[in-house]
Homo-oligomer: A and B are copies of this chain.
């Protein structure tokens, strides 16, 4: 069927995803050969403790990743995760002209510039579809299908653990702590859930998405990040009362700068376009396509000038789904080897600056317990006016001794909204700030 010499593949790491990669390479060998135009042969698997890997051919296992990379392999597939030794190994691979397929979001979110530089210098491919949203084809559409359009926003649920917890809180009314315990018990949260619940995982993915969508270099350190640990049952209830639901969102969007904005670049020229890249919980309307994405599923909503609104939905994690994305990339880089092609390179020409969160326009939902007497709304409204924050909607409900006041704002800078909330919390007529949460997914 094919006269091209085999494409030799080395695997670095062999956990859940790696094991599935090995299985798919074996089970689908004939199909892969036909699709690539040459046999795809696994020549080695680098692991730390070979005796722990009973599910893969023992003769392929080695502890010497450097030697494996230095051997005559064509493609390195990396599923170790974390920064080191993955970074050094992949840089060595790319520098020596080996194509790289990686699922390593943390590495890409911090060191993609180095990796792309090494890839450019040698002409070796660097593919990483599996790094964001598991099996969902997302990076290829952003990098390639929408390459002729102007993407304005990417907003997604990209972390299954936090979505499982928030979905659970929404359906049971339970607290964050109880629901996290349940998620841990069921295996949806790790023993140390920090990377997920504090938003680090989503922030890495947001950095990768923003880089591709806006042709700019964005690292994890550029991403504003809030996790879900402070989301309360009251927040969830407040969202429900307004026909909304709470999701942890990774948001990457273009921010047009108004005339009264005084941001300037290092050389003093005014900045006319910037981007916001952030991860935080937010209320979205139940009617928004992302609202129905429950449990461990992922979905990413994309808006572009010409294409309009799109959504990509699927399994964001797990061995087999992630391995599917790895194999898709592997077929692409192997085909490129066979046909002397090259995948897309880094595209960072736009170099849009990332806007600080304080200067990013956003909208707040604020729920207050207030004294039930005339004049409360006017005092509260005065604080909003003072901070130049415009109110979009107010709902007051009286009870016997006190009342609740729910306010949704128009867009204002995050700093102005925070100051407003701080000052309102100190008003004598306000007994308690029950819930404060950003609102996304609707224009007002």
- Identify which of A41-49, A81-89, A147-155, A380-388 touches chain B: A147-155
Name the CB-closest residue of B to A331. B147
A438 touches B (CB below 8 Å): no
Which residues of chain B are near A148, meaning CB under 8 Å? 24, 28, 32, 35, 324, 326-331
Range, interface on chain A:
35 or more
Which residues of chain B are near A28, meaning CB under 8 Å? 148, 150
- Identify which of A182-190, A341-349, A358-366, A390-398 touches chain B: A341-349
A57 touches B (CB below 8 Å): no
A189 to B321, CA, bound (A): 39
| Assembly stoichiometry (copies) | 2
A314 touches B (CB below 8 Å): yes
* Secondary structure type dominating chain A contacts: mixed
Contact indicator B307/A320 (Cβ below 8 Å) = yes
With known contacts A135-B308, A314-B311, A350-B34, A146–B332 Cβ distance under 8 A: no
What are 11 inter-chain pairs, A to B, with CB distance below 8 A?
Answer: A20-B306, A35-B148, A35-B347, A140-B144, A147-B328, A147-B332, A149-B328, A292-B292, A306-B321, A307-B314, A307-B315
A residues at B contact (CB < 8 Å):
1, 20, 24, 28, 31-32, 34-35, 129, 135-137, 140-141, 144-150, 215, 289, 292, 304-315, 318, 320-321, 323-332, 335-336, 339-342, 344, 347, 349-350
Question: Beyond A32-B148, A140-B141, A305-B324: 12 further Cβ-contacts under 8 Å?
Answer: A35-B215, A135-B310, A146-B324, A146-B328, A148-B324, A148-B330, A292-B292, A305-B320, A308-B314, A308-B320, A311-B312, A340-B340
